Amino acid sequence: MKRVLVDKIGSASKNVPLRNEIRVSEEIIAKEGYLVAGRIIGQKTSYNTLEGCDGRMIALHDGDIIVGVLGHRNALHGYSGMVPDSVKVGDVLNVLNLGGVIGKCTSANPAIGQPFQIEILGSVLVFPELSQRKGIQAHIGMNSLSPAGELEDAKSTPIILIAGTCMNSGKTFAACEIIRHLHTKGLVVGGCKLSGVSLQRDTLNMMDHGANYTASFNDAGIVTTSEETSRQGARKILQHLLATDAQVIIAELGDGVMGTYGVQDIFRDKAILARTKAVVLCANDPVGAWGGKEFLKDQFGVEIDVVSGPVTDHETGAAFVKQTVGVPGLNARTQSKELADFLAKKVGI
């Protein structure tokens, strides 16, 4: 065990309160969710920031010592990577996302270049028993959401699910605009991110747009959702929000409906679907809008209620959606009030 002074702490680790002076161990558990400290290697001019626990984006520099969390990522427009079978002090891994998820990069989108390298210094220790000097390896499951009871017994506050054909299809923008208008109507609104890779940016954005309560899978102790974890995390998040006085919950599903972050497993949960009163599909193009609708209906029996996203940026795309997909195409940028009003009427608020 040794003392390390940390320059920056990634938001993925926010469930574990840390100071800049930490203790690290050479014994590293090479599994998702465990906190590690490492030294940044090199400089970058793009994708060169880290989201801190306060949500602020901080520039990373060569030699910075940071705290991050071991995890995987499979981002079509970003980095893909995984946690190696073993991690030792001195190993060089990569920073896979802006929240400080750390793993071995296996693929990088040319548009953003290679990720930062990070030399691992050790696992982060916490000391739950003040009277003892023996630390344990920190994990983001510590202090995570643990709602009582079962989702089936929770109250039936309406949920609006926002799904997309892919990352960067306009889901968060649509969610925030819907939240803004519902908040303006005087409603108490809950906002959440049910799947994806740890980053506070989206839920903070929801809060900035008027959400009274927010939560994400990171709050449920999950670094990156998958088919093994997404359903359990989604249930915890929704139970947590359903226990508040929120009158409606806007739930964004990160990644696409055919991705690897466990979105499909959330759609398979009957208790979640029973509380879902409207489904928004965000799509980039006409094929995605039509295919997303058919996929959700064929695989899960889920009917979408409205399409948004870039496909509706032009009236030609919106007309295609109405005529071919068979639901309204409402653009979150230019028709945000109409979109929110449509959904409010749909869910009965």
Using CB atoms within 10 A of its CB, is residue 33 exposed (0-12), middle (13-18) or buried (19+)?
buried
Q: Give the pLDDT of residue 76.
A: 81
Q: Give the pLDDT of residue 273.
A: 96
Distance CA(262)–CA(81), nearest Å, equals: 17
Q: Give the pLDDT of residue 185.
A: 96
Cα–Cα nearest to 282, from 245, 324, 319, 253: 253
**Phi, psi for 230 (deg, rounded to 5):** -65, -45
Distance CA(240)–CA(159), nearest Å, equals: 13
Q: Give the pLDDT of residue 134.
A: 83
Q: From start to end of the chain, where are the E strands?
A: 2-5, 8-9, 21-25, 35-41, 49-51, 57-59, 65-70, 73-74, 79-82, 92-95, 101-108, 117-126, 136-137, 159-164, 189-195, 213-216, 248-253, 276-282, 306-308
Q: Give the pLDDT of residue 132.
A: 67
Domains of the chain, start order? 2-137 (no CATH), 151-347 (3.40.50.300)
Query: Which residues on adjacent β-strands are paired with residue 37?
Result: 67, 122
Q: Give the pLDDT of residue 131.
A: 61
Query: Which residues on adjacent β-strands are paired with residue 69?
Result: 35, 101
Cα–Cα nearest to 123, from 99, 156, 92, 88: 88
Tokens of 228: 């093994």
Q: Which residues of 186-219 are buried (b: 16+ CB within 10 A; e: fewer)?
A: ebbbbbbbbbbbbbbebbbbbbebbbbbbbbbbb
Mean pLDDT per 10-residue interval, the chain, length 349 residues: 96 96 97 98 94 97 98 91 98 98 95 94 91 86 92 92 94 98 98 97 98 98 97 97 97 94 97 97 97 97 98 95 97 97 96
Distance CA(45)–CA(273), nearest Å, equals: 43
Q: Give the pLDDT of residue 93.
A: 98
Distance CA(73)–CA(125), nearest Å, equals: 24
Cα–Cα nearest to 169, from 318, 285, 47, 266: 285
